[in-house]
Amino acid sequence: MKQRTALVTGANRGIGLAIATGLAEQGLRVLTAARTRARAQEAAEQVGGIAVELDLSVPRHVEAIAAGLEDEHGPIDILVNNAGVMPPGSALEATVEQLEDTLNVNAVSAFALIRAVGPAMKERKWGRIVNVSSGWGSFASGLGGPFAYSVSKATLNAITHTSARALGPHVKVNSVCPGWVRTRMGGMDATRSVEEGADTPIWLATLPDDGPTGGFFRRRQRIDW
């Protein structure tokens, strides 16, 4: 069996780095994507992967860059859309610019990457796409986080649901809430380590052929949208 290739965005720190490390430990070739070449290279050196400079703030450039990655490195079998930003503020405090920027990084660029690699996954009849979301993006939980972040994660969940239907049963597309994790975003008072936060994303990225698709998971259990 050939070595599979995984692309992990936001791989230079926190949950993304833990996901990249875990996938590399399972024998996958990992493309560590970060906003700058230096950050991507630092992550690649830590996990034994390949550095990829990928700025998700400009979605229209992302799809072309991802297509170029496949030309250079071969098929991407696993995509982990992990990178994210979280500006503060309620719906009355956030600005239009903050909402646009957050949607671009957290949702629109994730969609661009799915568009770039998903059709080939469908044609090959194998692929895994993991969208790192949040309970704050759940309507069932009340969208309780900062406004722009919650809206962007709810949008990402919608992308998961509809992309799973479009890509068919052989490409497993799922959202995951890693929980409250001790990262720069989560803070040091969080209850879970980065390794614990990375466990379910790694599980979803390596699902067997009879694994679930089109779902939202936390701690390997399905949760409500």
Catalytic residue list: 149
Q: Which string of DSSP letters, residue by residue, matches 20-70?
A: HHHHHHTT-EEEEEESSHHHHHHHHHHHT-EEEE--TT-HHHHHHHHHHHH
In the chain, the amino acid numbered 131 is N
Are 205 and 23 in contact, with CB atoms under 8 Å apart? yes
Q: How many residues does the chain have?
A: 225
State how far the alpha carbon of 185 is from the alpha carbons of 88, 135, 180, in Å: 11, 14, 9
CA 11 from chain center: how many Å? Answer: 10
CB atoms within 10 A of CB 97: 10
> What would you measure as the largest C-alpha separation in the chain, in angstroms?
53
**Rounded Cα–Cα distance for residues 91 and 96 (Å):** 10
**Rounded Cα–Cα distance for residues 126 and 169 (Å):** 9
CA 24 from chain center: how many Å? Answer: 16
Are 205 and 159 in contact, with CB atoms under 8 Å apart? no
